[in-house]
Amino acid sequence: MSEREPDPAKQEEFAGRVVQVLNDACLGFMASVGHRTGLFDTMAGLEPSTSEELARAAGLDERYVREWLGAMVVGGFVAYEPEGRTYRLPPEHAAALTRAAGPDNMAGLMQYLALMGEVEDRIVEVFRKGGGLPYSAYPRFQELTAEESAAGFDLALVDAVVPLVPGLAERLRSGIDAVDIGTGQGHAVNVLASAFPASRFTGVDISPQGIGAAKAEAAVHGLDNTRFVLADSAELTGGYDLVTAFDVIHDLARPDRTLRAVAAVLRPDGVFLMGDIAASSRLEENIGHPLAPALYTFSTFYCMTVSLGEGGAGLGTVWGEQTARRMLAEAGFGSVEVSRIEGDPLNQYYVARLAVAA
């Protein structure tokens, strides 16, 4: 059989897979609705319940809840008992779908599907014309990223990420100057500022919405060792012992200028701690990466596209370790170590210093 002739068995198998993709994509939307309406959280706290009982407990319209349950049952998310018409969220599923699951809650991530759907028309347009989209095209983006990253920061920033840098916790305890670039809603800064009251923390972002939310959170917690500045990270000035950037560099219009600015503001024994997507710069090495299709899609719908929208580099979400290491070296970092933390399949952490490692 020639390469051009379809193999009927393979054809059927692939068509089946595509149907599965359609079903799974639909379940993704429904999981997002389940997260936003609190249905998963409510179900996790209930005995097996009818749709009426669940709708009452969640404060929602029964007809919609019943249709949603239909999708959840046939999709294997929720168990159904036809005799009593009762529905149950198994605890093993609640562990991946509820707010109580913290960073393991995958239902929160499903919200990005609708966010991407909102801009699909404009994405198709830039496929034809080139260019990108402005940040203003994504009104819910700040809120979603903050919600997603906050659970991780609460759980791991102080106890797992800071210890990746030998001696950093002690230095933070005794009092140093730190800046978080692309801080978004500033939760990382506020978590660190509250854990290390002797240190001084700055958060920088170009989003007025993000900076406003960051200041409000700091005020609620009475943190007087934080400040938040509306600024471009490429124009960073001052002197710092620690610079952090979480899930930021690949989004930037001018990542090279920002990395050079980071190197310029670091004090000689300072550290740049960069959390970014754990992936390879080589496409072939990302085949089989458990999140790769999602990463390339997020990139197309947001990360690459906002950078291109500012006439920028358009590195994309999957810029990868090889490119990151090259760019850090070009910016003047003499040593870079890469680590992962347990339970986080998405990110890796680059610990970069100006001095060449001995």
Ligand X SMILES: C[S@@+](CC[C@H](N)C(=O)[O-])C[C@H]1O[C@@H](n2cnc3c(N)ncnc32)[C@H](O)[C@@H]1O
* Contacts of ligand X in 242-281 (CB under 6 A): 246-248, 251-252
Nearer to ligand X, 163 or 212 (CB): 212
Residue 328 host element (H or E): helix 320-331
Q: Does 182 bind ligand X (CB under 6 A)?
A: yes
* Contacts of ligand X in 146-165 (CB under 6 A): 146, 149
With CB under 6 A as the contact rule, the residue among 98, 233, 299, 348 that binds ligand X is 233
Give me the least distance between CB of 304 and ligand X, in Å please: 12
Nearer to ligand X, 44 or 236 (CB): 236
User: Measuring CA to CA, how many Å separate 13 from each of 9, 78, 114, 233?
Assistant: 6, 27, 29, 48
What sign has the CA pseudo-torsion 128, 131, 132, 137?
negative
With CB under 6 A as the contact rule, the residue among 145, 317, 347, 348 that binds ligand X is 145
Give me the least distance between CB of 240 and ligand X, in Å please: 15
Using the rule CB under 6 A, give the single segment among 122-130, 176-184, 191-199, 332-340 that binds ligand X. Answer: 176-184
Nearer to ligand X, 77 or 298 (CB): 298
Nearer to ligand X, 43 or 248 (CB): 248
**Residue 203: strand pairing partners:** 180, 228
Nearer to ligand X, 78 or 161 (CB): 161
Q: Does 209 bind ligand X (CB under 6 A)?
A: no
Give me the least distance between CB of 277 and ligand X, in Å please: 10
Using the rule CB under 6 A, give the single segment among 65-73, 80-88, 229-237, 329-337 that binds ligand X. Answer: 229-237
Place of tokens 């960051």: 214
Q: CB-based contacts of 352: which residues, under 8 Å, 6+ apart?
A: 271, 272, 273, 274, 328, 333, 335, 336
Q: What is the per-residue DSSP string for 50-91?
A: -HHHHHHHHT--HHHHHHHHHHHHHTTSSEEETTTTEEE--H
What sign has the CA pseudo-torsion 256, 160, 149, 319?
positive
With CB under 6 A as the contact rule, the residue among 103, 108, 184, 309 that binds ligand X is 184
Q: Could you tell me the two tokens for 262?
A: 């980071």
Q: Could you tell me the two tokens for 74?
A: 């046939």
Residue 266 to residue 18: CA distance in whole angstroms:
50
Nearer to ligand X, 28 or 182 (CB): 182
Residue 238 to residue 97: CA distance in whole angstroms:
43
Using the rule CB under 6 A, give the single segment among 125-133, 143-151, 158-166, 194-202 that binds ligand X. Answer: 143-151
Which residues are at the interface with ligand X (CB under 6 A)?
Answer: 145-146, 149, 181-184, 204-207, 210, 232-234, 246-248, 251-252
